[in-house]
Structure 1
Amino acid sequence: MIPALATLLVFQLMGEVVVMSLGLPVPGPVVGLALLLTLLVLRPATLAGIKPTVQGLLQHLSLLFVPAAVGVMQHLQRLGDEALAIGVALVVSTLVCMAVSAWTMVWLMKRMDRQP
């Protein structure tokens, strides 16, 4: 378990180093996950060493949302004060996301039709 956790943390650290070095506008852990995915694609045998630990972490993933929920509860009054702005932002961003997704799907479908 310790080597698997160390592997995950090393890839997160590598992601942070890459982001800091290149000034990328992406979170370091996301880059670390991409690097880990690359390793797993190139060397599938690595998966056996980290799979039990990763499955254990994923089973308890909901616990990681507790701090976020506590933060929401601490700022409940502020959320109530700004409910209209938050609601408008949620609705507008949802509509924009749906429109962009639909446009992308139409574009991809047209592109697939052109290919033999």
Structure 2
Amino acid sequence: MLGALTLIFACQLAGELLVAVTGLPVPGPVIGMVLLLGGLIVRGGIPEPLAAVGGALLSNLALLFVPAGVGVMLHVALIGREALPITVALLVSTAATIAVTALVMNALQRPKAEGDAGPHDDGGGGEAR
């Protein structure tokens, strides 16, 4: 369990170091997650200790939002002054996320072959029986 947690933190540290060295405009933990994902793909699966640690982190995910909530309460006056730009950014980013998700889903769907019968197609030429 300690080894799996160390692996997670090592990937995060590697991501932070990559951002510091290269100046990439991506958060270090995101790059760390990509590194971890790459390692798991190369390995061909998730080791049981890593799955257990990941499950424990996910089951206590609400606790990880406490610092963010405290930050929001600490800067509520600033958020109030900047409500319009924050709202616009949230709306635009949500719309962009929905659009990109729809485009990716559309691109990944298997095209239906012309001869394939649909789930409600009985092959009768469209006549009602």
Aligned to 2:75: 75
Indicate how the Cα distance of structure 1 residues 108 and 18 shifts in structure 2: closer, same or farther if over 3 A, else same. Answer: same
Distance 2:16 2:60 in 1: 24
Give the number of the structure whose alpha-carbon radius of gyration is greater.
Answer: 2
SS at match of 1:24: coil
Aligned to 1:101: 100
Q: AA paired with 1:59? A: S
Indicate how the Cα distance of structure 1 residues 108 and 83 shifts in structure 2: closer, same or farther if over 3 A, else same. Answer: same
Identity of aligned residues (%): 43
Indicate how the Cα distance of structure 1 residues 98 and 6 shifts in structure 2: closer, same or farther if over 3 A, else same. Answer: closer
- The count of aligned residue pairs is 110
Aligned to 2:50: 50
Aligned to 1:22: 22
How big is the alpha-carbon RMSD for the aligned residues of Structure 1 and Structure 2?
3.0
Residue 67 of structure 1 and its aligned partner are, at CA, apart by 1.2
Q: AA paired with 2:81? A: D
Q: AA paired with 1:14? A: A
Aligned to 1:11: 11
Indicate how the Cα distance of structure 1 residues 36 and 73 shifts in structure 2: closer, same or farther if over 3 A, else same. Answer: same
Residue 82 of structure 1 and its aligned partner are, at CA, apart by 3.5
Aligned to 1:2: 2
1:62 paired with 2:55, answer no
TM-score, structure 1 normalization: 0.71
Residue 63 of structure 1 and its aligned partner are, at CA, apart by 0.8
1:68-99 superposed Cα distances (whole Å, 9 cap, x missing partner): 1112122223333333443344334444x268
Distance 1:15 1:26 in 2: 9
SS at match of 2:24: coil
Q: AA paired with 1:101? A: V
5+ long unaligned stretches in structure 2: 113-129
TM-score, structure 2 normalization: 0.65
Distance 2:70 2:8 in 1: 27
